[in-house]
A and B are shown apart, each in its own frame.
Chain A
Amino acid sequence: MTVGIVMLVHTALGRAEQVARHWARGGCPVVIHVDRNVSRKTYDAFVARLQDEPSVLFSKRHRCEWGSWGLVAASQDASELMLERFEEVRHVYLASGSCLPLRPVEELVEYLAHRPRTDFIESATTADVPWTVGGLDHERFTLHFPFSWRQNRYLFDKFVELQRLVGYKRRIPGGIVPHMGSQWWCLTRQTLSAILQDPERPSFDAYFRRVWIPDESYFQTLARLYSTKIESRSLTLSKFDFQGKPHIFYDDHLQLLRRSDCFVARKIWPHADRLYESFLTDPNRAMSRQEPNPGKIDRIFAKAVDRRTRGRPGLFMQSRYPNYGWENGLTAGKYSVFQGFSELFEEFEGWLGRATGAQVHGHLFAPERAEFAGGQTVLNGALSDNALLRDANPLAFLTNLLWNTRGERQCFQYGPRDNPKINWHMSRDPNAQISVISGAWAVPLFKSNANFADLRATAAKLQKIESRMLDELRSPDVKARVRIWTMAEFIESPMEPLQVIIDEIGQKSLRRLAEAPRLENLNGFGQFLQNLKNQGMHPYLMGDFPVDPAPRNTRSGPRKPYLIKK
């Protein structure tokens, strides 16, 4: 008993010849179907070349357009010829011209000899398959498809829509339940002949002739009627990309294929000389004797599909430029934005760096330059601190920074003096953790030695900007983790919020904070705000600061630092 190979060929005939001889050498008869689209001359030469192989036959030719009935007709005719002419054949294996046997032919024969009644055909009901092209699953069986999907997509789609609109449905012949699966099957003589010799075959054929992509459903459906034992998987290793097009194997997949333990792989690039040489001529290639297990190869191809459909979050580049809202992650990693903290605390950045181990920058969007950590003028990825370069595209600056430093938590300062264009982008970014102490921009003004008239103007400007920023941060579309305190609120009890923020950064969570940040001396700040009010400006974002020396701010002598306890 042996296995018969039905081979559907439409291109790279030289390779098909090589593989056909390989099968024949291994004692497997071969029936080849050559697509009618191949010229008469080429076909005759091909047939002539294989004359010396008595166990290689050629079946009646059909035109095989993708997704058309021709492929099924070709498989039927070739299978009939196989069953009729080679009586020793117990299993028929459907393969294509670009399939390559990976394991020795004897192993396949032996494997099938141990499973004489098993049909290997991937066959699932339409409700259960996620991989349909064009989103059509059950409708493949209930609509008409007179227009080519490849050549006339517009009419194809329109006609589908029209049929849906009028509620048209074809009747599915009695007794069958539509199943779909890979077109590369291996059926027993019993099952296959039952399908081919079924008295109802003309009506089934007439029905499937108008089903879309019948080569993925004809045998898959009918095998369910006759098979005593279906193993719903294909013995052919075949990986599909996101468009339902098979992945191609090249020379550099040699090791991967060796480890795949599969009997047959498709599809192979015709110029992959090393693959053909290794698997067809090297007798000692020693593929291990195990159940076929394409799982090892799955990961690499699943990743390719993922890369093509979802991409790498936070990456903007020449072939990935997502539309607004389709970024699948605006940035490459989580980051923390601090507004008002470095104004309110002395040496806040140094403290934050020590407390979290993250990279802490100054005001990255400051008007003068991007204040990179450690005073660097260039950062990872050769990102420049030049403000003009940065402001030419602030979003690109931010996404570049986070892409370049992925793996290392980034923190930076922000405020109403800085480029406001980036505020909304951070607000809509789920990776952003934004903490704002509103009104803290007034502290540097309070400490400065500028003329009061200038201070008043600056304060009015900054308050207006920050107010707008806060509006953005409170919009319903915000996806960032946003926390906002007024300055008065925050200094009421600064330890608790600081601890929460540090914990959320979560870098050194196991260690207790060894030191607390030191508040700026705010003696007289209330009076400063009152002076602004007296000049007609209304500072409100910082909350209420009493003019009368509040107990907290008027303690004589140096204050004790706030200690943050777990």
Chain B
Amino acid sequence: MTNRTSDIKPSDLLVFSTQRNEGVRLPYFLDYYRDMGVNHFLIVDNDSTDGSLDYLARQPDVSVWSTQASYKRSRFGVDWMNWLLMRYGHGHWCLTVDPDELFLYPFCDTRPLRALTDWLDASSIKSFSAMLLDMYPKGRMDQTPYMPGQNPLEIASWFDSGNYTIQKNPELGNLWIQGGPRARVFFANKPELAPALNKIPLVRWDRRYAYVSSTHNLLPRGLNLVYDEWGGEKASGILLHTKFLSTFADKAEEELTRGQHYGASREYIAYADAVQDNPDLWCKWSEKYINWRQLEILGLMSKGNWA
């Protein structure tokens, strides 16, 4: 454990994350959020064996906790995140993301994250939605190896722009979004099992809050109302999900043997078959990523009334 949380100042922007053997991704991940204006990272390392724990411990703006405990038993990391958030997140804007998730928000190319959080504060908004957008390369996933420090979007630069379906979760009031390449390719014959893509990663944290299932939904329920129900659009962002890189096949295999993932790891079981032969998620109507404005025009995110 390397605890540098005493460096955290009252108005700092914090990133919370869980990682296991993501050493190759971490350099880009940390720099990406530093550039955005994040002041401190709080990371749980789940028994990494690739030296990433040491790497994190050397970073001046990272606090890292190491655990050998079961990912599954911790409800897929949610308990760890909730504990850290409660302990260190109170009163801060907290962004909870995995190392393969890159957060985008309206005007992120011209305004720092603090501009967004200041605006959210002024608008009395406490939680901010960012749907998971699966990114994938054109051609086989193992075709171009991913190198440390490299922008993963150079390889995984394609996405599905218009095949998402939404339902409302009556229990917690959040939207349940499915679709994208994973539904199209891996779950076409069992769409109800396709992974959830709705996420609420940015929250002005209070110690009374808690994530329920990953960052898909929270308690109290009001925090899940990140959508407008009367025809208007609230502001929202995107989490570019760069899971599908050359590292994916190994990862999927390892996770499958560990059996530590959600829903009896059925997601990884579904991948395993497809990954065996030729995992090409690209299709004729795949869209190539340009910037957040493109995603805004496509209706995947919205500026809302932020202008």
Contact = CB atoms under 8 A, between A and B. Distances in A.
9 contacts: A248-B122, A271-B118, A304-B303, A318-B227, A318-B300, A386-B184, A388-B191, A392-B165, A396-B165
Interface string A273-310: 00000000000000000000000000011011101111
A382 B286 contact: yes
B307 A320 contact: no
Q: Which of A301, A303, A386 has the most CB of B within 10 A?
A: A386
A382 B227 contact: no
A321 B228 CA distance: 6
Interface string B213-245: 000000000000011111111111000000000
B230 A326 contact: yes
A383 B164 CA distance: 9
Interface stretch (B1-9, B45-53, B77-85, B104-112): B104-112
A243 B123 contact: yes
Contact of A318 (B184, B190, B231, B236): B236
Interface string B143-158: 0000000000000000
A393 B118 CA distance: 38
Given A245-B123, A311-B231, A382 B285 contact: yes
Interface in B256-307: 283-287, 299-307
A320 B303 contact: no
Interface string A346-386: 00000000000000000000000000000010111111101
Given A269-B118, A307-B305, A380-B285, A317 B162 contact: no
Contacts of B304: 304, 307-308, 319
Nearest to A313: B231
Given A243-B123, A317-B164, A378-B283, A323 B229 contact: yes
Interface of A: 241-243, 245, 247-248, 250-252, 269, 271, 300-301, 303-305, 307-312, 315-323, 326-328, 376, 378-384, 386, 388-389, 392-393, 396-397, 400, 403-404
A386 B129 contact: no
A252 B131 CA distance: 25
Nearest to A241: B305
Q: Interface centre among A384, A396, A397, by most B CB within 10 Å?
A: A384
A382 B129 contact: no
A311 B111 CA distance: 23
B232 A308 contact: yes
A106 B232 CA distance: 43
B236 A382 contact: no
A316 B183 CA distance: 18
Given A311-B232, A404-B162, A318 B226 contact: yes
B75 to A, nearest CB: 23
A307 B260 CA distance: 42
Looking at chain B, what size class is its interface with the partner chain? Answer: 35 or more
Contacts of A304: 303-307
A252 B111 contact: yes
B233 A308 contact: yes
Contacts, number: 174
Contact of A322 (B119, B123, B163, B228): B228
A327 B228 CA distance: 11
A321 B160 contact: no
Contacts of A379: 285
Most chain B beta-carbon neighbours within 10 Å: one of A243, A308, A309, A378? A308
Given A382-B163, A392-B191, A400-B164, A320 B302 contact: yes
B192 interface: yes
Interface string B11-34: 000000000000000000000000
A431 to B, nearest CB: 15
Contact of B232 (A320, A388, A392): A320
A308 B235 CA distance: 8
Contacts of A315: 233, 299
Contact of A378 (B230, B235, B236, B284): B284
B125 to A, nearest CB: 11
Given A250-B110, A301-B307, A319 B184 contact: no
Contacts of A241: 305
A-B pairs with lowest CB-CB distance, top 10: A381-B162, A308-B305, A319-B236, A304-B307, A382-B160, A404-B162, A252-B110, A396-B165, A328-B231, A393-B165
A380 B188 CA distance: 17
B189 interface: yes
A322 B229 contact: yes
Given A308-B234, A318-B301, A382-B161, 8 more contacts: A269-B115, A269-B118, A303-B307, A307-B305, A317-B300, A319-B304, A382-B162, A396-B166
Given A319-B226, A389-B183, A389-B191, A327 B302 contact: no
B160 A381 contact: yes
A13 to B, nearest CB: 16
B166 to A, nearest CB: 6
B198 interface: yes
B175 interface: yes
B181 interface: yes
B170 to A, nearest CB: 13
Contact of B167 (A247, A318, A386, A393): A393
A388 B190 CA distance: 7
B229 to A, nearest CB: 5
Interface string B105-143: 001001110110011001100000111000000000000
A404 B306 CA distance: 25
Nearest to A150: B124
A141 to B, nearest CB: 27
B121 to A, nearest CB: 11
A241 B111 CA distance: 19
B191 A318 contact: no
Contacts of A307: 232-233, 302-305
Nearest to A332: B299
Contact of B129 (A319, A322, A381): A319
A312 B299 contact: yes
Contacts of B188: 384, 386, 388-389
Given A319-B233, A321-B175, A326-B230, A271 B165 contact: no
Contacts of A305: 305
B177 interface: yes
Contacts of A251: 110-111
Given A271-B112, A382-B162, A396-B166, A322 B305 contact: no
Given A308-B234, A321-B175, A326-B231, A383 B163 contact: yes
Given A271-B114, A322-B231, A323-B229, A384 B305 contact: no
Contacts of A245: 122-123
Contact of A392 (B114, B175, B192, B303): B192
A319 B118 contact: no
B232 A310 contact: yes
B85 to A, nearest CB: 22
A333 to B, nearest CB: 13
A268 B175 CA distance: 34
A327 B231 contact: yes
B168 interface: yes
Contacts of B234: 308, 319-320
A312 B233 CA distance: 8
A305 B304 CA distance: 8
A271 B115 contact: yes
B301 to A, nearest CB: 7
Contacts of B227: 318-321
Contacts of A310: 231-232
Contacts of A318: 129-131, 166, 175, 177, 198, 226-227, 236, 300-301
